[in-house]
């Protein structure tokens, strides 16, 4: 008679994940490079949620590790806006640098937006998860907080000195002087106004006053006194709104509230024009000789100073490539009594994120072994196409394919330097309602609205 088979060995029951010691959970969370990934981890169970939400005041982890700062997320609009049933939340696709694509993944997060932004045009962002949106493309300008249900009104009308009747405006790029919840917060924007030659091209407002339904922004006709040029970008720097012109000069504007003789207070804007010495590359036919053309310019605050970033595209004869082909980085400096843009040969550890009104600079030293220095850019070539914005949805085509990261080891003229590009989301050619936009941190894991799939 054959012996009876031995019973299978008893396997000790596995302990649930929620019993994992808090120190280990915290150590794992600190090694996740993206706040969104940490938020998904926190959704595993209640114990993990409490640990991740308390990372700002943590129990000492097993190893002295702290999570890195959050870098901006690239908000990618869908090709078209779809109907969402009442009670359902709209989702948006975000691409994360820390969470994926620099390590070979796609870095894509699908997150819910509590407010319905269907068909809205994004024209800027601000630190803390704020997005500037135009809900009807050319009007109903709003400031949306991504993590909460907060939606703040912005002016749709502008009036400049000497004008009696305010006129409708289209905001093209915008920024703030402080958090929009701050009583002393001012806003500024590059605008388009369809009302003849003497029309404002920049506008200002006080956020507290903008909450009124019929609020009117204060407009300035920037080119009236300083020649004919275009406003390319703006940034708030050392208490001043700085507007970069197509001639690479700066219009510096300071906002304040003053008493109105008729009672109450009004917004006063003091302006100063800063003229720069023309760069050598802009003299003669340098760009024509090396087959490059300047496509756009940006202002970025960095290490207490101000940088101008120039983006180039290839231009050969009658043909022009649409994708970015190179960048130049210049620092504002004084040369005697003359303001100049001094060329920076190297980035020197800078992580630059370019977006009109929302450019930011971070230090690569804060992300050891994660990211290296470089310029992160998005496709904003259609930010000022007001005529297209006024078309019906099926007639609008916002380009969305020229997003990526550019780096180089040694600077030279654009035709000699070896630029290295990593293209992001190259398969999404266009959107019918918006260009891509950065979502600026801070994104709190315990406030993040999560999708069931990542």
Q: By mean pLDDT, which of 231-235, 284-288, 348-352 is the weakest?
A: 284-288
Specify the higher pLDDT residue, 169 or 12: 169
Confidence (pLDDT) at 60: 44
E-strand spans in 154-263?
A: 157-160, 167-168, 170-176, 186-192, 202-206, 216-220, 231-237, 240-245, 250-259
46-53 and 22-31 are packed helices; what angle lies between their axes, rounded to 10 degrees?
60
pLDDT by residue (tens digit) across 414-430? 667 788 888 887 777 88
Categorize the per-residue pLDDT at 228 as very low, low, confident or very high, splitting at 50, 70 and 90.
low
For β-strands 374-377 and 350-353, DSSP reports them as: parallel
Confidence (pLDDT) at 291: 74
Specify the higher pLDDT residue, 146 or 295: 295
Total residue count of the chain as it appears in this document: 454
Confidence (pLDDT) at 231: 92
Give the integer Cα–Cα distance in Å for 59 and 50: 12
Is 77:43 a contact under the CB 8 Å cutoff? Answer: no
Burial class for 258, CB neighbours closer than 10 Å (0-12, 13-18, 19+): exposed
Categorize the per-residue pLDDT at 85 as very low, low, confident or very high, splitting at 50, 70 and 90.
low
Residue 140 lies in a domain: no
Residue 33 lies in a domain: yes
Categorize the per-residue pLDDT at 365 as very low, low, confident or very high, splitting at 50, 70 and 90.
confident
Residue 94 has pLDDT above 80, yes or no: no
Name the helix (H) or strand (E) containing 314: strand 305-316
Give the integer Cα–Cα distance in Å for 199 and 132: 23
Residue 41's domain spans which residues? Answer: 17-67
Is 81:420 a contact under the CB 8 Å cutoff? Answer: no
Look at the alpha carbons of 286, 290, 291, 293 in this order and tell me if their dihedral is positive or negative: negative
Taking the model in full, what pTM does it have?
0.82
Helix, strand or coil for residue 22?
Answer: helix
Residue 25 lies in a domain: yes
Residue 179 lies in a domain: no
Confidence (pLDDT) at 44: 74
pLDDT by residue (tens digit) across 39-54? 777 777 777 777 777 7
Helix, strand or coil for residue 80?
Answer: coil
Is 311:296 a contact under the CB 8 Å cutoff? Answer: yes
* Average pLDDT value for residue range 167-191: 94
Confidence (pLDDT) at 6: 67
Specify the higher pLDDT residue, 185 or 263: 185
Specify the higher pLDDT residue, 321 or 393: 393
Confidence (pLDDT) at 137: 92
Categorize the per-residue pLDDT at 369 as very low, low, confident or very high, splitting at 50, 70 and 90.
low
Categorize the per-residue pLDDT at 108 as very low, low, confident or very high, splitting at 50, 70 and 90.
low
Confidence (pLDDT) at 98: 60
The pLDDT > 90 percentage for the chain reads 36
**What is the full DSSP assignment across 319-353?**
EEEEEEEEEEEEEEEEETTEEEEEE-SS-TTEEEE
Residue 23 lies in a domain: yes
Specify the higher pLDDT residue, 302 or 319: 302
Residue 111 lies in a domain: no
Q: By mean pLDDT, which of 158-162, 172-176, 185-189 is the weakest?
A: 158-162
Specify the higher pLDDT residue, 430 or 80: 430
pLDDT by residue (tens digit) across 427-443? 778 889 999 999 997 64
Confidence (pLDDT) at 223: 65
Residue 229 has pLDDT above 90, yes or no: no
Residue 143 lies in a domain: no
Give the integer Cα–Cα distance in Å for 436 and 402: 10
Structural domains of the chain, count: 1
Q: What is the mean pLDDT of the chain?
A: 80
Nearest to 74 by CA among 44, 91, 94: 94
Give the integer Cα–Cα distance in Å for 350 and 360: 10
Alpha helices in 22-136 (DSSP H): 22-31, 35-42, 46-53
Categorize the per-residue pLDDT at 452 as very low, low, confident or very high, splitting at 50, 70 and 90.
very low
């Amino acid at each position: 008679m054959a012996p009876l088979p031995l019973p299978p060995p008893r396997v000790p029951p596995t302990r649930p994940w929620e019993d994992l010691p808090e120190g280990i959970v915290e150590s794992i969370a600190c090694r996740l490079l993206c706040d969104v990934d940490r938020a998904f981890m926190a959704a595993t169970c209640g114990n993990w949620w409490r640990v991740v939400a308390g990372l700002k005041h943590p129990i000492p982890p097993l190893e002295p590790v702290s999570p890195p700062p959050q870098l901006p997320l690239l908000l990618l609009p869908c090709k078209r806006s779809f109907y969402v049933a009442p009670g359902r939340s709209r989702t948006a696709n975000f691409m994360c640098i820390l969470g994926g694509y620099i390590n070979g993944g796609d870095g894509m997060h699908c997150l819910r937006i509590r407010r319905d932004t269907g068909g809205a045009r994004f024209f800027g962002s601000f630190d803390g998860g704020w997005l500037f949106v135009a809900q009807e493309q050319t009007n109903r300008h709003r400031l949306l907080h991504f993590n909460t249900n907060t939606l703040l009104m912005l002016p749709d009308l502008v009036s400049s000195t000497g004008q009696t009747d305010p006129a409708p405006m289209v905001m093209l790029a915008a920024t703030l002087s402080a958090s929009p919840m701050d009583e002393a917060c001012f806003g500024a924007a590059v605008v388009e106004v369809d009302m003849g030659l003497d029309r404002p091209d920049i506008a200002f407002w006080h956020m507290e006053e903008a909450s009124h339904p019929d609020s009117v922004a204060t407009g300035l006709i920037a080119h009236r006194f300083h020649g004919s040029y275009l406003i390319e970008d703006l940034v708030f720097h050392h208490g001043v709104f700085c507007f970069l012109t197509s001639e690479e000069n700066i219009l510096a504007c300071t906002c304040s509230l003053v008493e109105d003789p008729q009672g109450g207070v009004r917004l006063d804007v003091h302006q100063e024009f800063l003229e720069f010495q023309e760069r050598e590359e802009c003299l003669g036919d340098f760009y024509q000789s090396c087959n490059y053309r300047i496509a756009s310019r940006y202002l970025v605050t960095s290490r207490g100073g101000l940088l101008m970033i120039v983006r180039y595209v290839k231009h050969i004869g009658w043909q022009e490539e649409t994708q970015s082909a190179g960048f130049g980085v210049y620092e504002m400096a004084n040369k005697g009594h003359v303001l100049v843009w001094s060329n920076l040969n190297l980035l020197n550890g800078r992580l630059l994120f370019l977006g009109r009104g929302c450019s930011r600079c971070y230090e690569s030293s804060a992300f050891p072994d994660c990211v290296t220095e470089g310029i992160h850019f998005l496709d904003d070539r259609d930010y000022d196409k007001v005529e297209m914005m006024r078309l019906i949805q099926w007639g609008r085509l916002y380009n969305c394919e020229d997003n990526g990261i550019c780096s180089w080891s040694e600077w030279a003229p654009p035709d000699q330097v070896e630029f290295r590009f990593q293209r992001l989301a190259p398969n999404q050619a266009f959107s019918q309602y918006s260009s891509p936009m950065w979502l600026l941190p801070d994104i709190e894991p315990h406030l993040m609205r999560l999708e069931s799939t990542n």
